[in-house]
Amino acid sequence: MGAPGSERAIVSITRWARRDEWRPRFDAVIEAHFAPVLGALDLPADELPEVLGEAFAPLFGCVLDDFVTCDFGPGQPSIVADYLKRRGFKERAPVKSYLRALEGSVMSVYEVVATPGEHVLLRDLVRGGEPLPVEARGASQSLAPGDHLAARVLGVNGRTYLAAGVLDLPPARAGELAQNLRRLARWFREQLARSARKGVTLADLEAAAPLDDLLLSKLAPLFTCVWLQTALGDVLGIRLEGDGIGSLLADMLAELPDSEAEAALAEARPELAGRSPRQAARSRAGRRQVAQWLKYQEAVERDGADARQGQPPPDLGWMWQALGIEHLR
């Protein structure tokens, strides 16, 4: 059982997301969640409901939850702000409260510590802190201590609930994901400390916005990709390792990301039909094209060694690794 008003809120915002003015943005969010894994299989997204069966509902819930949280830039309303401005007069207070709580939520990795009564105690494996008591009448009967979840915990009118998009994770995958996210959070703080203006401390930045929440707000597709990789591997009887999801993890977990390197990955290339290497690497066919392009670039660099007076050619290995296509080298 979710928060009061949650069922009505989900139905209403799903319909709103499918309106003409919102559909392109919703489709882009869907692609961000599915393409890194589905591209490795050449599996169309519209086949996922049949392939996953009942497991597709919480997966779609995660995508919808993420879309609700999206910031589309200055002067652009969120879908919640747009919906409540134009249709809020039709909604009761619990629906509005749920949508506003969901809009400000982030996804994290949780371990079930205990299931007392109609609550579950969840420990946040990324941000730490004391276990949270979460009202989850139905979930408390299906969950057990030691279970792991990718989920959003919402504070609604002084009470705590789970959002609709809750994904079960195998303990090993949950632990690996949480560890990588903690690493990424440390790097994020280091980068902020280096770039902060003189006299501005991390404590000052933290007072303006929780840094871990700011980071997690951008990473929802990572959670669904990790879950989808595992789920499809089980359903299809194959092992999905490093292909598709690898490029996503490599981009996020680079120890020393370089602005010039990031620009090279994001630059549109005529050899890749006007796409950037990162965009092209989201599909199997695109990864083959990127591999061919990189091999050509490496050959050109080798042939130009004489003009560089014997200097070794630039090493493009970092790009193969960042895009998760070393196996095609």
Question: Average of pLDDT values for 299-310?
Answer: 58
Largest CA distance in the chain: 75
The angle, 0 to 180 degrees and rounded to 10, between the axes of the packed helices 6-17 and 56-69 is: 70
pLDDT of residue 254: 46
- pLDDT, one tens digit per residue, over 96-135 is 999 999 999 999 999 999 987 778 999 999 998 899 999 8
Q: Greater confidence, 230 or 208?
A: 230
pTM of the model: 0.72
pLDDT greater than 60 at residue 242: no
pLDDT of residue 71: 85
pLDDT of residue 209: 57
How far is 123 from 13, CA to CA, in rounded Å? 29
Domain boundaries, the chain: 171-253, 259-328
| 283 to 36, 41, 131, 280, 293: CA distances (angstroms) | 7, 8, 39, 6, 15
Percent of the chain beyond pLDDT 90?
39
How far is 211 from 125, CA to CA, in rounded Å? 16
- pLDDT, one tens digit per residue, over 40-76 is 787 888 999 999 999 999 999 999 999 999 988 777 8
* From 23-37, 197-211, 314-328, the region with the lowest mean pLDDT: 197-211
Q: Greater confidence, 200 or 292?
A: 292
Looking at every residue in the chain, the average pLDDT score rounds to 81
Question: Average of pLDDT values for 27-31?
Answer: 91
pLDDT of residue 246: 45
- pLDDT, one tens digit per residue, over 258-287 is 444 566 677 777 788 778 888 888 788 888
pLDDT greater than 90 at residue 302: no
